[in-house]
Amino acid sequence: MDGSGGLSSALLCLDNLAVAPPGHAGAILSGVDLRVGAGERIALLGPSGSGKTSLLRTLNGLARPHSGRVWFGGADIGTLRGPALRALRRQIGFVAQKHDLVEPLAVHQNVMAGALGRWGNGRALRYLVWPRRAELDEAEAALRAVGLAHKLRSPTRALSGGEQQRVAIARAVLQAPRLLLADEPVASLDPATSASILDLLTTIARDRGMALLCSLHQPELAARYFDRVLLVENGALRPHLVD
């Protein structure tokens, strides 16, 4: 279902989209029509296995649509390959439930992974052993946005779960995307930490003009922090009304 503005005002457009998990013969979610405006914040609610992760992976270009189309910034993601796809994906940030951080590395090294899309391999390898002051300043600025500037050189493994999630958000902030996708970012966190992470995500998205799509299990948090709430259930996507 749709329920937003037209194509001319949309950053992201899904047209009759169907998605399938890896190795799955048929679509788990189909008939999806959605328009997302720049700066809009949308929560995706639904049970495990309903297709939320498959949908986000398709929006990020990590998976091809089973059918239908995904338009981002006027480009059809499903038709892109190689450098064109990599260039588009630099505009889409992703925050995963399990952080996807390399725990033996320092915090700043994980944060600067957000720059890999614009760095060559040589610069990335050099940064691991000899970071320059300007690069450290960039990492520190991203960490300051999530309240962790003081953890710049700390080992990532020494951080709490909530702090690690903030590092993952800082990595996405450093990427400076137009669209930020968050896949169950608070699933393993306690209620107070969950609220603080969602407040941080939505505030950063608002202040930086990023569109935000975030999958959740908690209707009360979705209603509290997001402009729109959509339900992913029984193979369909539809508006969700919260009391």
Find the helix packing angle between 191-208 and 161-175, rounded to 10°. 10
3-state secondary structure of 57: helix
pLDDT in tens, 119-154: 888 998 999 889 999 999 999 999 999 999 999 999
Tokens of 126: 């050099």
pLDDT at 3 over 60: no
pLDDT in tens, 100-115: 899 999 999 999 999 9
Give CA separation, 3 vs 13, 171, 240, in Å. Answer: 12, 32, 11
Tokens of 95: 């925050």
Q: Is the distance from CB of 94 to CB of 60 less than 8 angstroms? A: yes
Per-residue pLDDT, averaged over 71-86, amounts to: 90
Of the candidates 17, 30, 33, the one whose C-alpha atom is nearest the C-alpha of residue 68 is 17
What is the residue-averaged pLDDT of the chain?
90
The pLDDT assigned to 243 comes to: 57
